[in-house]
Structure 1
Amino acid sequence: MSSSDHLVPVVAYARISADLARDAHGVEDQHKINDETAAAVGCRIVHYYTDNDLSAAKADLVRPGFEAMLKVLKAGRMPDGQAVRGAIVVADDRLVRRVGDYERFVDALTFEDGRVYADAKGLKDLYNEDVESMGLFGVVISKAEVRKIRRRTRRSHRRRAEQGIPVGGTRPFGWNDDKRTLRPEEAERLAQAVRDVIAGKSLHSILLKWREEDVRTVHGNPWAARSLKLALWNPRLCGWRRHNEELVRDVDGIPVVGQWESIITPKEWMAIDALFSARIKPNVKADGTVTDYRTPSHLLTGILRCGKPKDDGQICNAPLRVSTRLDLSGGYIYQCPSRSMGGCGGSARNGAKVDEYVTEAVLAKLEERAAVKQEQDAEWGGAQELERLSKKQRTMLQKWQEDLLSDELFFPENHKMEVRIKELRKERTEHALRVQRASKVTADVRERWFSDGLDMAQKRALVREALHAVILLPVGGGGRRPFNPDLLILKWTDG
Structure 2
Amino acid sequence: MSDWHWARAAEGVPHSGPRPFGWQEDRITLHPDEANLVEQAISDRIAGKAVRGIAADWCDLGVTGTRGGRPNAQTVTQIITAPRVCGYRANRGELLLIPETGQPVHGQWEPIVMPERWHAVCATFSPGSLYLHRGSGAPRRTGQKRPTPRYLATGFLRCGALRPDGTMCRGALCAQKGRSRKSPYVYSCRSCGRCSISGPLADEALEQLVFSEAQGLAKLPPLMRDRWRSGEMELEEKRKVVASVVTRCIVRPGVKGAASWDHSRVEPLPEHPGRAGWRYAEPTGP
TM-score in terms of structure 1 length: 0.30
More helix by percentage: 1
**TM-score (norm: length of structure 2):** 0.50
